[in-house]
Amino acid sequence: MERIEPSWDLYRTFLAVLREGSLSGAARSLGLTQPTIGRHIEALEQAVGFQLFTRSQRGLAATEAALELRPYAEALASTAGALLRAASGQGGTVKGTVRVSASEVVSVEVLPPILAALRERYPELVIELAVSNVVEDLLRRDADIAVRMVEPSQEALVVRRLGTIPLGMHAHRRYLDRRGTPKRFEDLATHSVIGFDRETPALRSMLERFPKFDVSRFALRTNSDLAQLAAIRAGFGIGICQVALARRDRDLVRVLPEAFAVKLGTWLAMHENLRSTPRCRIVFDALAAGLKGHVERT
């Protein structure tokens, strides 16, 4: 008996249930009814020959078999998204969708004016901005173009190094008026220091360079760079941010500039197959010029 290949819609539903953890959540995310989602899961389970989810008090729990299938479903979703973006740009004019990945701070504080100018020049261009500190896989086409603070190591990428962005410790004048300005690194022990709650390879590398940086004394811990920046601006305490961003606000003061200075490398990357795609090449060049201007102003 010939085996019938499952519809791609079933994999899309499967991935939505994995991400949302419930039939109702998946239904909302896909704009379908809950019974339809249930039928899709049942049909996929029949096609693959094993159970994908079990019911629990918290919703649906994925089986080990389902978790093994997840990366393949995600690859299908990425490919489908890339196909639609490619189809949207067909024709002689610069139009269609380009997906750009960038970190939280770059996405919110640096890219908006660059993208606004790009949109004004090319009104049929659509930008999908993936805001995340996670490094997107360009070879899998999770994004078309990525702004990265770590040097891309994958082959088959077009990479342009834009320079380095200095980072420094800053505080609001209001905080410094209230608590005083630290003169030595050791003085941070008596201050409210804003920091991270999860170590990453980049952070571990920074801590190796600055062993006096006592993470156990953080008064505010968050895994969001934007939340850290907002806390600095609010006068919560002393935290790390881009020197160029701090210069925009006359009330932000850099502290301990000689004791703490980090340079963050910045790169722009794109899959080499997109080099000849007009909309991607134009977005890549516009981002490169705008980000290089930001880097040079530092």
Statement: residue 287 has pLDDT above 50:
yes
Whole-number pLDDT of residue 182: 94
Contact in structure between 214 and 187 (CB atoms under 8 Å): no
Q: Which residues pair with 267 in a beta bridge?
A: 148, 161
Cα(271)–Cα(140) distance, integer angstroms: 9
- 212-246: pLDDT as tens digits: 676 678 899 998 999 999 999 999 999 999 999 99
Cα(216)–Cα(76) distance, integer angstroms: 43
Q: What is the mean pLDDT of residues 70-97?
A: 70
pTM of the model: 0.67
Whole-number pLDDT of residue 136: 59
Backbone angles phi, psi at 31, to 5 degrees: 70, 30
Which residue segments constitute the domains of the chain, with CATH numbers given?
A: 8-77 (1.10.10.10), 86-163+265-297 (3.40.190.10), 165-260 (3.40.190.10)
Confidence of residue 137 (pLDDT cuts 50, 70, 90): low
- 13-37: pLDDT as tens digits: 888 888 888 888 888 888 888 889 8
Whole-number pLDDT of residue 89: 53
Statement: residue 1 has pLDDT above 50:
no
Cα(254)–Cα(256) distance, integer angstroms: 7
Encoded tokens for 22: 């419930």
